[in-house]
Structure 1
């Protein structure tokens, strides 16, 4: 096997001013057939400079250095190593035969200690191996901790995008679902539902262009702004223009835009008004459970997306309602899911077929044959199955409706489809 100076294996920095002791360490490593790249520094200052390169895996440090007294070398080198994303292991070499100084060195941050006159090749090799293993374990622990922190931050953002609906009418159903895309990054999908004091219910689904933490944060900001406008009794006609002003202030660049669908349900549940800002039109369910008609609401008043620098306003499209109903709002992550040709809503003109609005309508009709309360979760799962795994983009789904009967209460549900649960 190659010797310690072969240039392969872990990088071990020997901090030793005595040439004889340095030669002894080199021979011990060669006798143990340890494959490392051995470097040498003669002082703490030289070792600090070497650590600045960022590729040292382990330090072998003599406690009798010219510019360090006692454990000063351990403390300085451990402090310097801590500035690296992956701090090196540290093994102390001491000429004292007692254990006191070695124990104090470990207490000061060393991974192990060796007595020069009592060290043989196998003992040195074992000490280095254990120190490097502890370093690797510590690195894995740090990576796990960072991963958990990122997951917690992601969860916090997702919860901001999945607020608890503020609806007092117990005969109104509000079912929401959010399905993250396969890359693990958050998208800018957002939605919310709020009931005003007069009984009017407003719902929104929006989609920030782009994908990632910045877009997710912007989506959360816009959702908060939308709820603020609604609870302060801002006229529905004024909500979108004011929300666009927030977008123009908060977005990272002029290329960022937002598509949005806002639905206003009258206090007597006899009509709904739909506002479209470059967003897919909602679906409409009418009738009682077991006999539900599911149709696409054909838009007659579609407006531009928020943040697009062209003229145009947003106008409401009124839909008359009679009896129980549900309005289904969604983001394009659902309808853009790639599926097999037989599952596509319409024949593709080119490329991979996508589910499309007709395909989503068909999925919804099929799932309406089951229990109504968990229909959002089932629709998300079904689209994911047709896609063959996690969707390429985030998908949001919101169903808000009215039971139409005083003896039937509405359903409330929230589905945050995280990758762990949906991988089962």
Structure 2
């Protein structure tokens, strides 16, 4: 009866006995599409011939330089994780075949009980089981990655520590077009004196390392604010932390810090190489003048940042954002929104409506994080 192998496979047969090897090769010649077979007589020779082109390995568990599961372990060490492995045992070693499957082989065969159809079916089964194992592994890895990303996002974008009901606090976060997590972060803390402290930052780059660095900076910022540290002392501490934790010297971080006084009518800002905040005061839309007030963190060890005093008045809205918002694609394929386009869009909308604003931006090339606080008049 014709063996069931309908595609031309590349197999490696590891067998020191010429008679057993001849039998396997003859049985596989009966397949609809006989496979290409390479033979090795020892584990050492097999390691030289086991290339990525090999789709399935048939390994005798009694080799001159390895016996029983030692032979299997030697093959798995080289073949894993992409190649199916089929163990060949003698009639008296059936229990060894079971142990081989438990140790990582996809199936086993007793050499004295093999015919062409059984051999072909076992090879196909071993390969399908290997594919299923790989698919399951990828699924588990994807689930773990999703959970880790969720934990990182939660740490990057925390709930505000805000007691006052006199201001409205809104945030938004959207991943970039690549869907990878980046180092955008924000936070809001109200200290016992009633002052409201805001920060939004962006670690350059994308991926879990940058996200983890953003988490570290965000937590450090909150801790320092709660401990009463503000201004240049806080920024220099963050700069030191960034230099200690980054995995490459070219990694830098931009951020914008604002402290709104307890009366909620005045703000002091430091814009650290970051895009300028947008303000709406008495219906007038503008960006904060004098930005940036200094370079990003992680570039100059002796950097200084000037303070920007911003009168707010009785009714105002302040929007801090990362550059993913102004770099969003608009108009021509190479066009981006830009700061002026953002201000024009806010004016067109008659104020800052975050959801409406985000709906109007185009495809994101970077993560987008927005933090908005609003104080309404009496």
User: What 5-or-longer segments of structure 1 have no aligned partner?
Assistant: 1-7, 288-292, 342-350, 406-424
Shift of 1:294: 5.2
* Cα distance in 2, alignment partners of residues 35 and 248 from structure 1: 60
Q: Number of aligned residue pairs: give it.
A: 372
Shift of 1:245: 3.3
**Residues 58 and 172 of structure 1: is their aligned pair in 2 closer, same or farther, counting only changes over 3 Å?**
same
Q: Which of 380, 398, 405 is the equivalent residue of 2:358?
A: 380
1:299 paired residue number: 289
Shift of 1:105: 5.0
Q: Which has the higher contact order (CA 8 A, sep 6+)?
A: 1
* Cα distance in 2, alignment partners of residues 212 and 101 from structure 1: 45
Question: Which secondary structure does the structure 1 equivalent of 2:91 belong to?
Answer: coil
2:21 paired residue number: 22
Tell me the C-alpha RMSD between the 2 structures. 3.2
TM-score if structure 2 supplies the norm length? 0.84
Matches within 5 A, 1:244-283: 244-283=239-278
1:320 paired residue number: 311
The answer to whether residue 368 in structure 2 is matched with residue 392 in structure 1 is: no
Given that 2:285 and 2:347 are in contact with CA atoms closer than 8 Å, whether structure 1 keeps it comes out as no
The answer to whether residue 221 in structure 2 is matched with residue 221 in structure 1 is: no
Given that 1:44 and 1:73 are in contact with CA atoms closer than 8 Å, whether structure 2 keeps it comes out as no
1:162 paired residue number: 157
**Residues 25 and 228 of structure 1: is their aligned pair in 2 closer, same or farther, counting only changes over 3 Å?**
same
Question: Which secondary structure does the structure 2 equivalent of 1:303 belong to?
Answer: coil
2:142 paired residue number: 147
Moved more, 98-107 or 57-66: 98-107
Shift of 1:337: 1.6
**Residues 310 and 231 of structure 1: is their aligned pair in 2 closer, same or farther, counting only changes over 3 Å?**
closer
1:356 paired residue number: 338
Shift of 1:331: 1.2
1:417 paired residue number: none
**Residues 256 and 124 of structure 1: is their aligned pair in 2 closer, same or farther, counting only changes over 3 Å?**
closer
1:11 paired residue number: 10
Shift of 1:266: 1.1
Alpha-carbon deviations, 1:32-66, whole Å to 9, x = none?
Answer: 13443312233445445655x56543222335545
TM-score if structure 1 supplies the norm length? 0.76
* Cα distance in 1, alignment partners of residues 103 and 237 from structure 2: 60
User: What 5-or-longer segments of structure 2 have no aligned partner?
Assistant: 1-6
Shift of 1:136: 1.3
Given that 2:239 and 2:298 are in contact with CA atoms closer than 8 Å, whether structure 1 keeps it comes out as yes
Given that 1:229 and 1:239 are in contact with CA atoms closer than 8 Å, whether structure 2 keeps it comes out as yes
Alpha-carbon deviations, 1:134-180, whole Å to 9, x = none?
Answer: 11111222222223333333333222221221111133322112222
